Chains A and B, each alone.
Chain A
Amino acid sequence: MIRLDRVSYSYPRATSPALNDLSVDIPAGQFCAVIGANGAGKSTLCSALAGFVPHFYRGRLTGTVEVAGIDIAASSLAELAGTVGLVFSNPFNQITGARFSVRDEVAFGLENMGVPRAEMETRIDYILQFAGLAGLAERPPFALSGGQQQRLAIASVLVMRPRVLVLDEPTSQLDPVGSREVFTVLRDLAATDEATVVLAEQKLEWVAAFADRVLVLHEGRLVADGLPGDILASPDLQRYGLEPTRYTRAARAAQAAGLRPEGDTLPVTLEQAAEFFA
């Protein structure tokens, strides 16, 4: 579904590349998390998948980015809308403001795509239910809480039925309650096994809970690629400026203190931790 072949990219005026010789294949239906320290290239990768690199930011892109069979560099943003959905951190800026209710805001993208009204109704009803916004359908979008607004942003993109959904740190500007709301929606999305999702995220505990695969970026390069259990428990994590989950840290401390045998697989989720300490 997503194919990156030797992709390098530099922003205009930048002295060092933001993405450096990146190659990766993501099959359809996979929920793939991208982790890495600030400035590792997560956002740039998200922008490249949605076409904003290079079509919006300009700059120099080499290699091939292919999403759902479309060569991003040869396409346009107007063409890509509806094929790749992008959600980013700031909820306020993702709400167009041009529609006066949550329901109408969700409709905005469908209206632009010329979707017939009857079909819009069905799709919107379904997606509002999915995002837990059905009860807020008639509320003004800017009257919602941060978490609700972010779920609205996700719903507004999902309703367009993109082949790929890209989320760039969707909870970094939310409080814990809002983050939990958003991750609940993402977990449901991961459970469907139909959506192809790329999630750039710093909160590793959530990544561990539902990602099928984890990519680690460091200074624009892909430095690790594997299952969440392997990657997140790896001692290399700190080298890339990432903090292991509290479960991994606790398990390591237990091993160091001799409470648990060395060599056991370290836990990265609550369930695994319960097993580890059992």
Chain B
Amino acid sequence: MSGTYGLYVVRQTGIHRLHPLTKLVYVLVCLLIGWLIPGVWSPYIVLLIGVVPVALIARVLPEVIKNTIKTAIPFAISLIIVQGLFWTGGTIVRQLGPFSLKAEGLLFAIRGTGRIILAVSGFLLLNYTTRSDELMLALSQKGLPNSISYVVLSTLQVIPRFQRKANTILDAQRSRGLETEGSYLIRMRALMPLVVPLLLGSIVDIEERAIALEVRAFSREGAKTSLLVLHDTRFQRAIRWLLMLGAMAVIGWRFYLWLAPRLA
């Protein structure tokens, strides 16, 4: 992870400056369209038209590509093996020893991989260009409870400390002679001395963090204000509505495609 804002990559671009909800809605609609429109290549088309240009403008395309590939490759391999080789029935494209590669399975794997690439790259695009505190504020303004926003943001910042804590305990127990290598049983036995101190040491944190929150009027009811200001425009609001209408149209159309043969 890169710094405070989760995955956020600091760049001065128009995409970064957009209202968080505009980006959230845009990515969700891209995902929906790519997943719902029938056809093996539809996720790839949405990817090329919807995600890649925006990532390019936001100057995060290299990061998006790199991390999408990292996640998508294992899926692609699994899909080709599980679906391509073990497709029941279907047209045999090629014989590979005892297994046969099936055309239908292969197409299924291509489409599945496309869906995953689209989902991963869309999610990364959103996170690379949107600060999570701004996104949570935008959601709070739409009615998400403040407590949820606290939990998400606080967790993001607390995690690195716990990862360090875990490593410290790992080093400490190893230096005290705890065996963490070797047979399955040895490694299993190492589990408790590592996990229990981490957990017990954290319970005190919970109590103190709750007290600190109360001191800061966390449980006070009534209107809250915000130091952070989000910039929204009438144009962006219109775009969001259009996107949502478009998404509903696609859902309706897809539902019709599904329903029509069943009624006929």
- A-side residues, CB < 8 A to B, are 50, 52, 56, 77-78, 81-82, 85-86, 88, 90, 92-100, 103-104, 107-117, 120-121, 124, 140-143, 153, 156-157, 160
B208 & A112 in contact (Cβ 8 Å cutoff): no
Query: Of B84-92, B178-186, B224-232, which stretch is located at the interface?
Result: B224-232
A113 & B217 in contact (Cβ 8 Å cutoff): yes
Number of A-B contacts (CB under 8 A): 114
B153 & A81 in contact (Cβ 8 Å cutoff): no
How far is B169's CA from A55's CA once the two chains are assembled, in angstroms? Answer: 35
Closest 6 CB pairs between A and B? Answer: A81-B217, A93-B208, A109-B216, A97-B154, A107-B227, A112-B217
CB distance from B112 to the nearest CB of A (A): 37
A97 & B224 in contact (Cβ 8 Å cutoff): no
Asked if B218 CB lies within 8 Å of chain A CBs, one says yes
The A contact surface, by secondary structure, is: helix
* Contact (A98, B150) CB under 8 Å given A78-B221, A93-B205, A112-B224: yes
How far is B51's CA from A9's CA once the two chains are assembled, in angstroms? Answer: 62
How far is B210's CA from A168's CA once the two chains are assembled, in angstroms? Answer: 16
A94 & B212 in contact (Cβ 8 Å cutoff): yes
* Contact (A112, B216) CB under 8 Å given A98-B150, A104-B227, A117-B225: yes
Asked if B4 CB lies within 8 Å of chain A CBs, one says yes
Could you tell me which residues of chain B, from 179 to 238, have a CB within 8 Å of some CB in chain A?
Answer: 205, 208-229
CB distance from B217 to the nearest CB of A (A): 4
Excluding A50-B215, A100-B5, 16 further A-B contacts by CB distance (< 8 Å) are A77-B214, A78-B219, A78-B220, A81-B215, A86-B215, A88-B212, A90-B205, A92-B205, A97-B158, A100-B131, A103-B227, A112-B217, A112-B218, A113-B220, A115-B225, A141-B157
Can you spell out 13 A-B residue pairs with CB atoms less than 8 angstroms apart? A77-B219, A85-B215, A86-B211, A94-B212, A97-B156, A97-B158, A98-B153, A109-B216, A111-B224, A111-B227, A112-B216, A114-B223, A142-B161
